[in-house]
Amino acid sequence: MGHEGSGYEVAGYEATYRRSIESPEAFWGDEAKRIHWHVPPKRILDDSNPPFRKWFVGGETNLCYNAVDRHLDARGDQLALVAVSTETGQTREVTYRALYREVNAFAAVLQRLDVGRGDRVVIYMPNMAEAVFAMLACARIGAVHSVVFGGFAAHNLALRIDDAEPKLLIAADAGSRGGKVIPYKPLVDEACARAAAPPPHVLIVSRGLDPAEPRIAGRDVDYAALRAEVGDADVPVAWLESNEPSYLLYTSGTTGKPKGVQRDVGGYAVAMAQSMETIFDCAPGQVMFSTSDVGWAVGHSYNVYGPLIGGCTSLLYEGLPVNPDPGIWWALCEKYRVRTMFSSPTAIRVLKKSDVGYIRDHDLSPLAWLFLAGEPLDEPTATWINDALGKPVIDNYWQTETGWPAITLMPGLDMKPVKFGSPGLPNLGYRMRVIDEGTGKTVAAGEKGVLVIEPPLPPGCMTTVWRDDQRFLDSYFSHFDELLYSSLDWAIRDEDGYTFILGRTDDVINVAGHRLGTREIEEVVAACPAVAEAAVISVADSLKGQVPIVFATLRDAGADDDARTRAGRDMQRAVDTTLGAVARPARVYIVNALPKTRSGKLLRRSLQALAQGQDPGDLSTLDDPGALDEIRRALARDD
């Protein structure tokens, strides 16, 4: 599938990667040809003020134009977006031509509400087609969108409103989870009441899920009514300089004021266009299915911008992976002939509890690749899904801050062997090292260190923290004497250059002077035959300083007390054998469910807080509130 003129097929990964880090201006100058420029860049890279950098300086382009308009002649009648909701029972199939119409209409509505270039718009919606229309409409007119996960607590929504100071907030009337309606409007009203800088208007996109939601006169506006007024409006594209902000995405799970990760326009567009070919191996006309929520980084990049910039079809899903049955995702893959699927290890662990027949009953011959990201992929889960699918399963590592994979395998460029437990090799343009946290020197192969990136960060990565350059420096570049971006993750790199992520540097357990990553222990516990899923945290110990404890679910949910006791002992023995007695979990709690967000991430910080007798924090994104109650009961029994 090589990019014309890139020489990818001939050069292979090693030579291409080397060129990307040794001659970044020449390399990215070629890559910039992948997108449409209204005005070509005058300079490829300006890194005169490190670690700040600017890509494609002076170039003018637009994300919406690259995602929609430029495809109209070649593929106007091709599906651009398929929005499937098992919550509402509706499927919406949208061609590129229809997408152009809907985005222009939404952009006209935004202009009616006095939203223009540089204004911020907060979008508070689930995985529904209008969320995509809204994002692209903002991009079209040069407004800066900030998508907030639908159903996020009012307090956290208010914090984001105050930081972004939006001209407009767009909200669905409600979301739905497992058939349970989650009204959004009361959360929006409370957030606006709490906010110091509430938006002058709230635009309500109603699906009739919450017909009783009240409107506030003068502030709340009905989208359907304005959409009918603007009709088939055509809204001109705002051509933005490459380094103007495109969107803000706030990091979650932090204390205090959230960080607004700021992305640019041109660099992000080039990264999306390149990665759709080199990493995800998805060509124009093919289908990509990302199971992420649009409110997360993966949702921005690979539910919306990446597939559309690449001329692909994006499959957007609202609902549980097990409703109406655990075969729903695979049924969609079969129906729409999905080429590339992108999900999370946690989602696969949920499906792992079901019969493999739900996968094998479907014709998945068009499916080439399953990518997993969001948290490290444990070997038992990787082995299970690989065997079930009979397709390559590719782990990849990135962060909200990077915006696209930093470590991955690249089947569209040069597919290297999969090593279970490793996301692979550095992505193009990422100058990565694993260094000693004390000396800052690169460690030898097989030695643990901190994963860092040498500036300049490649296109697509964050440019700064919104309105806070100093926080950008302090948060990411102040950890070592040398100017390096710290991932805040422990890693090991093997002799072949593959990186293995061991867990957060701030989740380190110091047991009697021995530093252990929770991830290392989780890997061992998860490999035990009886274990379905595990989370490891640390608690204070008067003798050793800290000790690890395990919360685990079993494959046999109906196991009796004796079986649970045996499983707990097996976990402790496995850790003893693999990592040594120093890493042995002090306690093992076997429960029926672990607390997770609705997007499938384990709430390890909440587990940590409960184990320490503290407030578990904001639980508005918790999928099953009963899971925390069970954790409390397990801890209480131990007292």
Contact call for residues 189 and 170 (beta carbons, < 8 A): no
3-state secondary structure 613-632: CCCCCCCCCECCHHHHHHHH
- Closest by Cα among 129, 132, 2 to 67: 132
Residue-wise over 190-229: b if at least 16 C-beta within 10 A, else e? ebbeebeebbebbbbbbbebbeebeeeeeebbebeebbee
What is the C-alpha to C-alpha distance for residues 94 and 132, in angstroms, rounded to an integer?
Answer: 11
Tokens of 460: 């697509």
AA identity, residue 370: L
pTM of the model: 0.86
Only one residue has tokens 């440019």, namely 463
Region 8-319+396-489: CATH code: 3.40.50.12780
Tokens of 89: 């029972």
Looking at beta carbons, which pairs linking 610-614 to residues 24 or more positions away fall under 8 Å? 610/635, 611/537, 611/539, 611/549, 611/635, 612/539, 612/540
How high is the pLDDT of residue 578?
A: 76
What is the C-alpha to C-alpha distance for residues 212 and 190, in angstroms, rounded to an integer?
Answer: 16
Rg of the chain's alpha carbons, rounded to an integer? Answer: 24
What is the C-alpha to C-alpha distance for residues 466 and 511, in angstroms, rounded to an integer?
Answer: 38
Contact call for residues 243 and 55 (beta carbons, < 8 A): yes
How high is the pLDDT of residue 68?
A: 98
How far does the chain reach from its first CA to its final CA, in angstroms? 60
Only one residue has tokens 């002076």, namely 58
How high is the pLDDT of residue 514?
A: 67
Contact call for residues 457 and 24 (beta carbons, < 8 A): no
Kindly state the DSSP code that residue 583 receives in the 8-state scheme.
G
CA triple 213-218-223, angle to 5 deg: 60
Residue 374, phi-psi category: left (phi > 0), alpha (psi -120 to 50), beta (remainder) = left
pLDDT digits (tens, 9 = 90+) for 111-124: 999 999 999 999 99
DSSP helix/strand/coil, 541: strand
How high is the pLDDT of residue 376?
A: 74
Tokens of 516: 């252990």
What is the C-alpha to C-alpha distance for residues 253 and 268, in angstroms, rounded to an integer?
Answer: 24
- Closest by Cα among 392, 295, 275, 315 to 598: 295
Cβ neighbours around 620 below 10 Å, total = 17
Contact call for residues 45 and 27 (beta carbons, < 8 A): no
Only one residue has tokens 């954790």, namely 631
How far apart, in Å, are the Cα atoms of 459 and each of 269, 455, 559, 588? 9, 11, 50, 44
How high is the pLDDT of residue 416?
A: 97
How far apart, in Å, are the Cα atoms of 204 and each of 140, 156, 191, 554? 20, 20, 15, 43
Contact call for residues 602 and 253 (beta carbons, < 8 A): no
How far apart, in Å, are the Cα atoms of 578 and each of 213, 447, 513, 561? 56, 16, 19, 26
Contact call for residues 350 and 379 (beta carbons, < 8 A): no
CA triple 398-308-428, angle to 5 deg: 35
pLDDT digits (tens, 9 = 90+) for 160-192: 999 999 999 999 999 998 999 999 999 999 999
What is the C-alpha to C-alpha distance for residues 200 and 324, in angstroms, rounded to an integer?
Answer: 40
Q: How far is CA 518 from the centre of its chain?
A: 21
Q: List, in order, residues 6 or more apart from 344 with CB less than 8 Å away.
A: 291, 292, 372, 373, 374, 375, 599, 600, 601
Question: What DSSP element (H or E) covers 38?
Answer: none
How high is the pLDDT of residue 2?
A: 38
What is the C-alpha to C-alpha distance for residues 535 and 346, in angstroms, rounded to an integer?
Answer: 11
User: How many alpha carbons lie under 13 Å from residue 372 in its C-beta half-sphere?
Assistant: 28
How high is the pLDDT of residue 152?
A: 78
How high is the pLDDT of residue 183?
A: 94
How far apart, in Å, are the Cα atoms of 515 and each of 113, 193, 538, 544, 633? 55, 45, 12, 12, 30
What is the C-alpha to C-alpha distance for residues 232 and 335, in angstroms, rounded to an integer?
Answer: 31
Is domain 512-638 in CATH 3.30.300.30, yes or no?
Answer: yes
Question: How are beta strands 425-426 and 220-222 bridged, if at all?
Answer: unpaired
The mean pLDDT values, 10 residues at a time, for the chain of 639 residues are: 48 95 98 98 98 98 98 98 97 98 98 98 98 98 95 85 98 94 95 96 97 92 97 97 97 65 98 98 98 94 98 97 96 98 90 94 98 84 93 94 98 95 96 95 96 98 97 95 95 97 77 73 91 90 83 91 93 86 90 81 82 75 75 81
Domain boundaries, the chain: 8-319+396-489, 512-638
Kindly state the DSSP code that residue 377 receives in the 8-state scheme.
P
Question: What DSSP element (H or E) covers 603?
Answer: none
DSSP helix/strand/coil, 386: helix
Looking at beta carbons, which pairs linking 526-530 to residues 24 or more positions away fall under 8 Å? 526/378, 526/379, 526/380, 526/381, 527/378, 527/379, 527/380, 527/574, 528/567, 528/570, 528/571, 528/574, 529/555, 530/554, 530/555, 530/556, 530/559, 530/563, 530/566, 530/567, 530/570
